[in-house]
Amino acid sequence: MLLSCLVFFAAAAGVVHSQACPAHARTKPVADNTAITTDEGQHDTVLSPVLNPKADPTNLQNIVPSTNVSLNWGSQSSGLVHVSLEMNHPTVLLEEIGAIAAVDCEAASVTITFSRADAFHEAVAGWSADDGFVLVTNHLGNCDADKERGVFLAQGITSDSNTLTVVALGEKTDIKSTAGLTEISFSSIPVHSKRATNLDVNGLTLAHSLSLPHATKLYSYHHDPNVDVHVTADSAALSMGATFSGKLRYSIFKAKLHEMSFDIDAHASVDLVLTTSLTTEFNTTFTYGAPPLTYSIVKVPGIVSLGPALDIAIGVYLAADAGVSVTTNLGAEIANGNFHLDFLDQSRSSATGWKPTFHAAANISEHAAVAIDPYVDITAKLDFQLLGGLVDLSGGMTARPRFNNDFTLNGNQHVNDVNDVNNLNGTWHRQDKGRTHAVARSQGEFAGCAQGLGIKSGFEFSVIAFVTQWWKKTIYSVDVPIADKCYSWA
């Protein structure tokens, strides 16, 4: 004889409309913490040096060495990664001098030919210091590799006013050896990936979606003919989009991170229907890492590499005191979530705009005390390496919609119509982490439901920030009550 209960509700900003469902369970562990994960792989995008759009190449002041310089990488139309450097030596960016006609590099010298006499004389006057200066080249002549700048530490110069030529004597070096402090910001990055990516003025945008085929098996456990467990996705449509931007300040000389933070603007939707069937009492928690994952490495050679990624995983906590079949439906949507992650100060990390709208349903087929909590983890993260791995960090956020269900079904009456449990507004109490045994729950808290349906149900949503090496913290959470009821037909 089929016994069933059904719950359906929708909520926005905590407003709940409910019909009913679920109670409680805990049995001895059989198979816990199973994980299935796959990865789509990495796709590298190497950015090119681009001229600072604020620079005026006709300004002779650009010839004068300065210890503060700014470099951009990205597309020809915009700088997507901006790097400000405090240099250990006065520095000249040759790309910002419009009066340079040619640049030629040797192992121990750089020859610069000018097209104007005033620019030549400015260089001779400004580059004659005895304590050395740095020249930064940008793909003129043979001075640097494609998509890279060259860095040359000069110790002196010779000049020829007849040819308007200056020869700087010294050696080739790199940013890491000549800069004392770097500040890096990124606001837009072109990413090549098998998944959808967009580039606009707001930043790097990744879009990741997952649609599993009907009846995709997420979890199976078979011990002997008496223990058989399956969790199947009847349907799964999950999606997330995120735009990244951020900033870093790092002292190269002191090897100290002064500031690192980034922002994510995100939207997400979840629609997940699961059917869980088991032949006997059972208790497990598992996670299904849903393929494919979006992942891309964005490189500025010698400066920084960024690995933005979106990961989607489906998880379930399940406990039952008898064989049963349970179907759950979890749906949630976040239209405009904003997230700020501060690597050094977790108190400055924040999440705004994450109020979800949601719907959910559950159905139980047999006499049982059951707890089943399906959830989805949607993670946006950024892997970060500075100066060829000198700083290696990663961090991000996980948005987790979760449907908590505890229910007991007793007696031998058939629930004929969902209207029997319609339009209920109960008070839901969040369950403790240590759940009592399913039988104890049914005989204790739902003792009055000897012939009926005992229900506790609620929607939980949280945003979890993490910096992989240092800390993890829930920075936003909301619990929405659904039902706390006994429906008796005795």
Q: Write the DSSP symbol of residue 431.
A: P
Whole-number pLDDT of residue 189: 54
Q: Are 278 and 347 in contact (CB under 8 A)?
A: no
Residue-wise DSSP of 114-145 = ESSHHHHHHHHHHS--TT-EEEEE-SSTTSS-
Whole-number average pLDDT of the chain = 76
pLDDT at res. 295: 65
**pLDDT given for residue 317 in this prediction:** 92
Q: How many residues does the chain have?
A: 490
Token pair in block for residue 312:
């989607």
Say whether pLDDT at 367 is over 60.
yes
pTM of this structure: 0.74
> pLDDT (tens digit, 9 = 90+) per residue, 29-45?
233 333 322 334 455 77
Rounded average pLDDT over 394-404 = 92
Is 332:461 a contact under the CB 8 Å cutoff? yes
Q: Where are the domains of the chain?
A: 6-43+198-488, 49-184
Residue 154 pLDDT level (bands cut at 50, 70, 90)? very high
Can you give the pLDDT at residue 372? 87
What is the DSSP track for 363-391?
EE-SSEEEEEEEEEEEEEEEEEEETTTTE
* Each residue's pLDDT tens digit, 225-240: 888 999 999 998 888 8
pLDDT of residue 426 exceeding 60: no
Lowest model confidence (mean pLDDT) among 143-152, 171-180, 345-354, 452-461: 452-461
Alpha-carbon gap, residue 196 to 242, rounded angstroms? 11
* 249 pLDDT more than 90: yes
Query: What is residue 57's predicted lDDT score, i.e. its pLDDT?
Result: 93
How is residue 175 annotated by DSSP? H
How far is 338 from 353, CA to CA, in rounded Å? Answer: 6
**Of the ranges 6-20, 210-224, 464-478, which one carries the lowest mean pLDDT score?**
6-20
Torsion of CA 246, 252, 256, 262, to 10 degrees: 0
User: For the segment 65-100, what is each residue's pLDDT rounded down to a tens digit?
Assistant: 999 999 998 865 555 789 999 999 999 999 999 999
